[in-house]
Structure 1
Amino acid sequence: MASLTIRQLDKSYPLAKGARNLVLNKIDLTLHSNEFVSIVGASGCGKSTLLSIAAGLEEFDSGEVLVDDQPIQGPGIDRGVVFQSYTLLPWLTARQNIEFALKSAGYAHTERAEIAQQHLELVKLAHAADKWPAELSGGMQQRVAIARALSYRPKILLMDEPFGALDAMTRRQMQQLLLEIWETHRLTVMFVTHDIEEAIYLSDRVVVMKPAEIDQCIDIPIERPRDFSVTHHPDFLNIQSQIFERISQPLEHA
């Protein structure tokens, strides 16, 4: 497994007349090996931009982004990425979507079918291997996307609101499945979400962002393995209240 280190990261976008909008300001954050870290904050605070930079999908103005102390050079197979939109290729079956990613990662033809099958089994979709994306529910499509992201064995999994488009029941099922996968295979995970309960339930640590900056990092002292009964525990509710209070403060006081 791997660590992800972000040091003194600055990111801005150009505005009219030479001005710039500062999106990330001197961000320092380390995700340790096997750690599950969620990032929460109000819309527009920069959390998705931070994840996109860690994925190598966006450039930044200054600072460092390192995997195991080595600077990233754009996207790489050391990092798997899952977005809210399922991003499956509609002309390929579930199995073929995974095999396509494996081919792009340089896996031999003889390996791809077996690895794809293993990862469909991992997300409990072996029975849907030959279905087209249009034949799958939203939750099933996202499970294929997760299987695809894990198939080439990345060191780090980066997830941007992966369950945001799902109904409440499917979302809970996906959260539980993700925890089962993580507890079995132990990945370093950066998970961006608007859902405070989801962040606490999944994570070892929750990073609370205010616009362009990190406000707090909160350790989650709740034993694993977890089930949804922990969401009623006083410690869970106290942390949830603490995070909500920070996020809901007026921006001028944040």
Structure 2
Amino acid sequence: MAAKLEIKHLGKRFARNEALRDVNLALAENEFVSLVGVSGCGKSTLLSIVAGLLDYEAGDILIDGAPMEGPGLDRGVVFQSYTLLPWLSARGNVEFALKAAGHKGKAVREIAEEHLALVRLSKFMDAYPHELSGGMKQRVAIARALSYRPKVLLMDEPFGALDAMTRHEMQTLLTGVWEKHRLTVLFVTHDVEEAVYLSDRIVAMTIGPGRIKTEFKVDLPRPRPAGITTSPEFIALQSQVLATIREDLHPDED
């Protein structure tokens, strides 16, 4: 069966800097894959290219076997910054995306309310962004990205600006949403514990230029309870991923 998202021999340069070289990665239907690696290894650049927000000089990107051509509704994107429209309510932000995707009439409000309920914001549908906490704003952004049913959800450090307690709450919520919707997710994070907790597979990138270094299969049961982070299997995998990343922090050490 063809991959849902396939990146083939991707290359990207910024002026004299080669940001990505010969990146090859395939994501299966409903697979949750996290990208990890040291700062500057190209994780966010790769995600922005897949989102259609950056061009590239070499390679191909395929979605369901068809070439990707710029931004599209087949991909939903959630960034660390909430990117909500401040003059619209939570419901209005989701409805705005739905109208842009071609939805009309009564269905727009129904779909918006369904997705805000999915991220537990039913009581805050009429609140404006300045009235919401950081975690709530990110929940609106997730609801908006899911509302038009993209084939692939792209997430770039979506919980990086949140405090530890809210971050854990958002991780739990995201796994619940993903298990309900079952869509393909490409997730960028610096937090290895987060990557292990969320993912089916972790892809470690290396620097200078950015390339795929190694992959780790996360063979942990789903759904994943909060206590799984203290299990021997979880800790062992987390240590392996961290060791791989640390090799790029001290490349000259034996």
Q: CA RMSD in A?
A: 1.3
Matched, 1:185 2:181: yes
Q: Out of 141-150 and 234-243, give the one that drifted further.
A: 234-243
Matched, 1:27 2:23: yes
1:180-204 per-position Cα deviation (integer Å, ceiling 9, x unaligned)? 0111110100000000000000000
* Local SS of the residue matching 1:102: helix
Matched, 1:206 2:191: no
Equivalent of 2:166, from 136, 151, 170?
A: 170
Q: CA–CA distance in 2 between the matches of 1:2 and 1:217? A: 17
Q: CA–CA distance in 2 between the matches of 1:159 and 1:137? A: 19
Deviation at 1:252, TM superposition (A): 3.5
Equivalent of 1:236, from 234, 237, 240?
A: 234
Matched, 1:128 2:129: no
Deviation at 1:253, TM superposition (A): 4.8
2:72 is aligned to: 76
Structure 2: runs of 5 or more not aligned:
none
2:45 is aligned to: 49
Equivalent of 2:114, from 111, 118, 143?
A: 118
CA contact (8 A) 2:3 2:26 kept: no
Q: TM-score, normalised by structure 1?
A: 0.96
* Local SS of the residue matching 1:107: coil
Matched, 1:5 2:6: yes
1:17 is aligned to: none
Query: Cα distance 1:2–1:128, how it changes in 2: closer, same or farther (>3 A)?
Result: farther
Equivalent of 1:143, from 103, 123, 139?
A: 139
CA contact (8 A) 1:206 1:219 kept: yes
* Local SS of the residue matching 2:36: strand
Q: TM-score, normalised by structure 2?
A: 0.96
2:153 is aligned to: 157
Matched, 1:37 2:38: no
Deviation at 1:167, TM superposition (A): 0.5
Runs of 4+ in 1 over 4 A off after TM superposition: none
CA contact (8 A) 1:2 1:155 kept: no
1:124-146 per-position Cα deviation (integer Å, ceiling 9, x unaligned)? 00110001000000000000000
